[in-house]
Amino acid sequence: MLTAWVEQLLGFASGALEAIRANEHYPTMMAWARSEGVEHCGGSLDLAQALAPLIWNQTPLKRRDFDTEPLAEPKRDEPCWCDSGRLYRDCCARVEMPSVIPGHLMWMLSLREWRGETLKAALDSRKAPAQALLEAGIVSAESGNNGRAQQILESLFAGNRDWEALKEQIEPAFEILVDLYQERGFHRKRGALLERVMAAGPDFLRGAALERLCLMHLDSGDLASAREAFQSAQRTLPDSPSLAYIEAMVLLHEGNVGKARQRAAFWWRRLSRQHHLDPDQLEFIAELADDPQAALAEQVIHSEEALSGPLTALQALLHTQQRPPRLALSHADDGALLYEPSAREESLYRGWAEACEVEIDEDAALGFLGDPWMTAPQWLQALCSNPEWLDAPRVMQALTLALASRFGSLPWMVDTFFTPLAERYGFWLSQLEDAGGTFSWHDADNATLLRTGLALVIGMERGAGQEARRLAQRLLALDEEDSLGLRELVIDQLLREGRDEQALAVSEQGPEGAEMLGVQMGRVLALYRLTRHDDALAVLRDVYASNPYILTILCEDRPRPARLGEDMPEPGTRAEAWQYRQLMRDQWVASDGALEWLSRQRTSLG
């Protein structure tokens, strides 16, 4: 009954708003209510006439600079305000509304309707109720009007609003607005909002900002900053249930699965004593304590309704797939190993391409000519209906790239998707190794297999570092030119495992160049750890000559962040140095005296 009334009310209010905007005078709207509004009220003229004045009274009018022009409710013995000619007691006063009419309804509908300068003027008037701004922003975002949603929600943070008094609106608005900034690439605005909230916001909002900052650092691989943000959030909101799974995420990124389980159990014991906690939240924390990786993976899979079913089906498919058929390989006259797709593999890939509708960018190491996740429900379902498509390396390539682009930064997704894909890919890799010969990116269709391997390395790097490193080393042995840039990743992982001699050996293999900052700095760190300080300084001089920002950004505790785009930063830039700091500063901090040594060299080199 209530649902039907809500539909009636929205239909009536929307129609009334259209009539009001025709000339913004009450008689016009009242005439509409009697002629057309009745249809939205189940044919009840009495309900339509009683509803119309209530709707009019809360409607902002452009001709009044977005103020309302409310009618005074008549006394019982006065003529009714619906202009029926009857007394109020015998007319609208007798009509009982099925439910309360939200006082912000017409503002919310108006914000959805206004465009351009009118919308800007309405927002600048600061007369819109906070709940209307929140709901209009949510509706706009859900309908894909992200620009409008951003503009509306930004007005909640404009000026000197009392955020504490608007807690119910400001907190969800903050979360949505940060997501919009991220999706639309407004990184500077996102950073400014976070800084403003952390500097002057109430505790509940500062905690939300710190939690979001922690997740942003995790996404970029800056684990030290992520842990710092988490600890600040813990001090600000010590009893926030979201801290339980954020800490689990931090620990899993750090590779501490056992500690993640222990801390989730601690949070469950602590939060279970709070009777106001949502039972679903408490149940999720219990699942974290049992198996944090599986719990977080399931949450990710079910985070979008349209994808949850297809992703679950893909997970089941990948864990039941058998060994793929052997590849058709040949050798060139110079001994180079060549892969060319068979007729069957070409046919299988055509089926995939028709379902996906987005092609691989053949000129890039990784990437598509478009967003494959726009059509994901259809290609996921098609793939699960045609599992033989995975026999084609080009399908494996596209699937692995798509999964890495979406889940490659989440260590808890490794076992879900990347481990079974890597096992399947391993059969082909072993065949290449057994065949012998160099396997160059530029020969035949070799790039398909190498690109697939790179996507798997990226997908496993954060959740299964050793396995990712071993796969990268196997690929490096095949592709001595290092077309994929895997040498830096292998060095980083070896340094994390304390295998300094091997890290040094890998850094000295293959092509050298000023553009390979990670390789050169990895060599410096390995030499320093091996107490070969003079050799380390000699390499460091070359590094400093090619990128003068690296020492300052790596040594300072809180350097100014550099903005990183979607592409790799240009060699020699501050962005390149910042990216290296995010990836590897923790290893310099963990190496006894390494940062102090770098600081001394910074003085002499500068």
**Residue 353, C-beta contacts closer than 8 angstroms, at least 6 positions apart:** 359
Q: What mean pLDDT comes out for the span 344-368?
A: 85
Place of tokens 């091996």: 530
Give me 128's structure tokens. Answer: 């819109």
More confident residue, 276 or 32: 32
pLDDT digits (tens, 9 = 90+) for 422-440: 999 999 999 999 998 889 8
Higher pLDDT pick, 380 / 585: 380
**Torsion angle of the four alpha carbons 190, 226, 282, 315, in this order, in degrees rounded to the nearest 10:** 90
- How far is 173 from 1, CA to CA, in rounded Å? 30
Mean pLDDT value of segment 347-363? 87
Half-sphere exposure of 285 (CA within 13 A, CB side): 25
Q: What Cα–Cα distance (Å) separates residue 251 from each residue in 187, 209, 401, 469, 570?
A: 26, 20, 26, 20, 32
Is pLDDT at 510 greater than 70 in this prediction? no
How much of the chain is in helix, strand and coil states, percent to nearest 5?
Answer: 70, 0, 30
Q: How confident is the model at residue 160 (pLDDT cuts 50, 70, 90)?
A: confident
For tokens 């959805």, what's the residue? 112
Please give the Cα distance from 319 to 421 (Å, whole number). 9
Q: Residue 587 has which token pair?
A: 């290893």
**C-beta separation of 360 from 398 below 8 A:** yes
Instruction: Retrieve residue 332's tokens.
Output: 């060139």
| Residue range 347-355: mean pLDDT, rounded | 93
Query: What secondary structure, in 3-state letters, does 131-193 show?
Result: HHHHHHHHHHHHCCCHHHHHHHHHHHHCCCCCCCCCHHHHHHHHHHHHHHHHHHCCHHHHHHH
**What is each CA distance from 173 to 179, 193, 416, in whole angstroms?**
10, 12, 33
Which residues make Cβ contacts (< 8 Å) with residue 238, sequence separation at least 6?
Answer: none
Q: What percent of the chain is predicted at pLDDT more than 70?
A: 97
In this prediction, residue 514 has a pLDDT band, given cuts at 50, 70 and 90, of very low
Q: Please name which of 285, 235, 231, 294 lies closest in space to residue 262, comparing C-alpha atoms.
A: 285
Q: What is the pLDDT of residues 38-76, one digit of tens each?
A: 999 889 999 999 999 999 999 999 999 999 999 999 999
pLDDT score, position 216: 85
Q: Kindly report, residue by residue over 447-506, the tens digit of the pLDDT.
A: 999 999 999 999 998 888 889 989 998 998 888 777 777 888 888 888 888 899 998 988
Q: What is the pTM of this model?
A: 0.76
Average pLDDT for 506-529: 80
C-alpha to C-alpha distance for 226 and 128, rounded to whole angstroms: 37
Of the pLDDT bands very low, low, confident and very high (cuts 50, 70, 90), residue 606 is low
Asked whether residue 348 carries a pLDDT value surpassing 70, the answer given is yes
Tokens describing residue 299: 């949450």
66-75, 347-356, 575-584: which has the minimum mean pLDDT? 575-584
Q: Is 142 exposed, middle or buried (0-12, 13-18, 19+ CB in 10 A)?
A: exposed
pLDDT, average across residues 521-543: 91
Q: What single-letter DSSP state applies at residue 86? A: S
Reported as a pLDDT band with limits 50, 70 and 90, residue 511 is low
Average pLDDT over residues 297-319: 92
- What mean pLDDT is reported for the chain? 89
CB 35 within 8 A of CB 42: no
Q: Per mean pLDDT, which range of 27-36, 49-58, 286-295, 547-556 is the poorest?
A: 547-556
Place of tokens 């939690």: 211
Within 8 A by CB and 6+ apart from 531, the residues are: none
Q: What percent of the chain has pLDDT over 90?
A: 50
Nearest to 55, CA basis, from 134, 93, 108, 3: 108
pLDDT tier at 218, thresholds 50, 70, 90: confident
How many Cα atoms occupy the beta-carbon half-sphere of 320 within 13 Å?
9
Find how far residue 495's CA is from the centre of its chain: 29
